[in-house]
Structure 1
Amino acid sequence: MNFRTSFVPAACLCFLFTVASLVQAADWPQWRGPKRDAKSTETGLLKSWPEDGPPLAWKVDHVGGGFSSVSIADGKIFTLGDLEEQNYIMALSEKDGELLWKTDIGAAGGHGGYPGPRSTPTVDGGQVFAINQHGDIVCLNAATGELQWSKNLSNDFGGKMMSGWKYSESPLVDGDQVICTPGGDQGTLVALNRKTGSVIWQTKEWTDQAGYSSVIIATIHGVRQYIQLTGTSVAGIDPKTGQVLWNAARPGKTAVITTPVIKDDVVFVTSAYGVGCNGFKITRDGDAWSTEEVYANLEIANHHGGVVLLGDHVFGSSGGTFRCLELKTGELVYKDRSVGKGATVFADGCFYLRSEAGPVALIAADAGELKEISRFDQPDRSDSRAWAHPVIANGKLYLRDQGVLLCYDVKAK
């Protein structure tokens, strides 16, 4: 594989290195935000929008084909896109969307009906990590786009997926290691050295094929662990050794995608294709762990737009409805219609629901009933479904639709 990096003029790089030294608390440096929970810590955002949406700060049309969302850190926006015959990871200026660099990391294409990348890059400590649709996992210098190492989940770690929709996971960076899910007989999860890409451990006792979900970090009964969902089970993994702490059978169908959410000792998972949602109670007695399925129902069957945990309730889309469910019991609190099936994030007391058909809604975070405040139709719609999750960072709302990236100003004046 030939890797190529394209650079911007030196004057732009000077600006790039200047802003890289700034700390921005409201950055969104990875999949579903700083804590991988689809929640922004920002306040002072608009409480309603005009009919045509919040003010458009800027728009670019050069991010390429695909369904990847964006990560934002240190004044730069990172994403993946297919351009001509190759797949690129690229960095844009947060100020105006100007291309700062792009690096070729593999072939374009992938699944015939839905080509392009799905993963969201992870930015940490001056490095950016990403997985393209073919399972190429790469580490690059975040300032210059220079490739530092590359591996392939199938060729190097025996990776195998539950179905043919191509790799969609966004890698997790945890200290000195990078966690991802090749799946297959060599081990479902693998931890890589962030400096070299060499294997630290692989879960040989857990060999599920990979689904499409991304790993999260949780602390359950005082023990820090990685949680991942596959098409067969959900498990908790020791970060230092790769040992399986607990594993609960949870069969999925076709494609299991949604990132789990966790509170205390309850792990909530959901997927579509007639499967629904499950709540698992995790118990620990010394070194012995056990799981109990508390509920299994169809109240939330989230396809891939994600769910958000607020307090004791889980919110998200299920089919064409937006729903609220009680975490501990699995009981449905409400279901109602908004802009349709889509992806959900939370910020400053509101949900931002981005429909796969294009419209975007602002919904009050109310556990009693659905209260839609505003909505607008996304302009410059492609012919593809709008599957890239919305992102809120530093007072801006980002919507990616294939090659177009729209940046809206949602900071209250």
Structure 2
Amino acid sequence: MGGVRQIVTQTQQNIIGVAANSGKLLWKIPFTTQYVQNIVTPVVYRDTLILSGLAKGVMAVRLVRKGDEWSPQTVWRNEEASMYMNSPVVMGDLVFGFSHLKRGQFFCLDARTGGTLWTGPPRQGENAAMLISPGSLVALTNDSQLLIAKPSGKSFDVIRRYTVADSPTWAHPLVLPDGVVIKDAKTLARWSVD
């Protein structure tokens, strides 16, 4: 960001950037939620950070550097989606995520403007881990549904759906070249792809 290699993360009350070579705090943005916790990992899109948190909507922030000072500028904000326990993914100019609003809903935003391109049906669960696999979106819901979808700005087009466990799946899956590793509440399993 701003020509400086840095680690960007959320703390309980801030989003921070730390110099990768020295650990020096470069900047921070106050960012709190009602439970004083931040779970969503900030995602880089071009020269912006895409951020979200419980009941905070989704927003893009550009960090402007003047000498040693950094100042955040909000580029866009979207209140139609908001993330709590998962992080978005970016493919091209599309942001995909799972909103806690409407009791769980997949969504897609235009990364350039923040405009909502689509939202999926409501009541899809409490959480879904989102990943990118070559040519596909992968989502693992907390009720053990592994979804493979086409990355599209028009709709949430699920190509395949698998039930991968008998207990809740809260951990991110690990996508391998020939399969996927799933951790549920009771087991760790490797699934093969034919």
Do they superpose with TM above 0.5?
Answer: yes
State the alpha-carbon separation in 2 of the partners of residues 329 and 249 from structure 1.
Answer: 23
In the alignment, which residue of structure 2 is the partner of 1:347? Answer: 133
Higher Rg of the two aligned structures: 1
Q: How does 1:103-114 map to 2 (within 5 A)?
A: none
Deviation of 1:275 after TM superposition, in Å, equals 2.2
Q: How does 1:158-237 map to 2 (within 5 A)?
A: 220-237=1-18
Computed over aligned residues only, the root mean square deviation of the Cα atoms, in angstroms, reads 1.9
SS of the residue corresponding to residue 23 of structure 2 reads: coil
Contact 2:32 2:38 in 1 (8 A): no
The amino acid across from 1:280 in the alignment is V
Q: Percent of counterpart pairs with the same letter?
A: 26
**1:293 maps to 2:74:** yes
In the alignment, which residue of structure 1 is the partner of 2:23? Answer: 242
The amino acid across from 1:408 in the alignment is W
Q: Provide TM-score, normalisation by structure 1.
A: 0.43
State the alpha-carbon separation in 2 of the partners of residues 357 and 387 from structure 1.
Answer: 8
State the alpha-carbon separation in 2 of the partners of residues 305 and 233 from structure 1.
Answer: 17
In the alignment, which residue of structure 2 is the partner of 1:310? Answer: 91
Q: How does 1:329-344 map to 2 (within 5 A)?
A: 329-337=113-121, 340=125, 341-344=127-130
Report which stretch shifted further, 295-304 or 327-336.
Answer: 295-304
Instruction: Classify 1:374/1:349 alpha carbon distance in 2 versus 1 (closer, same or farther; 3 Å).
Output: same
Deviation of 1:374 after TM superposition, in Å, equals 1.4
Contact 2:137 2:149 in 1 (8 A): yes
State the alpha-carbon separation in 2 of the partners of residues 264 and 351 from structure 1.
Answer: 20
**1:321 maps to 2:102:** no
- From 58, 65, 75, give the equivalent of 1:284: 65
- From 271, 281, 287, give the equivalent of 2:53: 271
Q: How does 1:31-180 map to 2 (within 5 A)?
A: none
Contact 1:324 1:332 in 2 (8 A): yes
State the alpha-carbon separation in 2 of the partners of residues 230 and 304 from structure 1.
Answer: 14
- From 146, 155, 158, give the equivalent of 1:360: 146
Instruction: Classify 1:328/1:246 alpha carbon distance in 2 versus 1 (closer, same or farther; 3 Å).
Output: farther
In the alignment, which residue of structure 2 is the partner of 1:409? Answer: 192
Contact 2:13 2:38 in 1 (8 A): no
Contact 1:231 1:253 in 2 (8 A): no
The amino acid across from 2:114 in the alignment is G
**1:388 maps to 2:171:** yes
Q: Provide TM-score, normalisation by structure 2.
A: 0.87
The amino acid across from 2:162 in the alignment is F
Q: How many residues align?
A: 188
Deviation of 1:239 after TM superposition, in Å, equals 2.3
Contact 2:109 2:115 in 1 (8 A): yes
State the alpha-carbon separation in 2 of the partners of residues 228 and 342 from structure 1.
Answer: 20
Kindly provide the CA deviation profile for residues 180-204 of structure 1, in whole angstroms up to 9, marking residues without a partner as x. xxxxxxxxxxxxxxxxxxxxxxxxx
The amino acid across from 2:66 in the alignment is D
Any gaps of 5 or more consecutive residues in structure 1? 1-219
Contact 1:266 1:328 in 2 (8 A): no
Any gaps of 5 or more consecutive residues in structure 2? none
State the alpha-carbon separation in 2 of the partners of residues 360 and 292 from structure 1.
Answer: 37
Contact 2:178 2:192 in 1 (8 A): yes
State the alpha-carbon separation in 1 of the partners of residues 192 and 182 from structure 2.
Answer: 12
State the alpha-carbon separation in 1 of the partners of residues 164 and 19 from structure 2.
Answer: 43
In the alignment, which residue of structure 2 is the partner of 1:397? Answer: 180
Deviation of 1:315 after TM superposition, in Å, equals 0.5
Contact 1:265 1:283 in 2 (8 A): no
State the alpha-carbon separation in 2 of the partners of residues 295 and 233 from structure 1.
Answer: 19
**More relative contact order, 1 or 2 (CA 8 Å, 6+ apart):** 1
State the alpha-carbon separation in 2 of the partners of residues 266 and 344 from structure 1.
Answer: 20
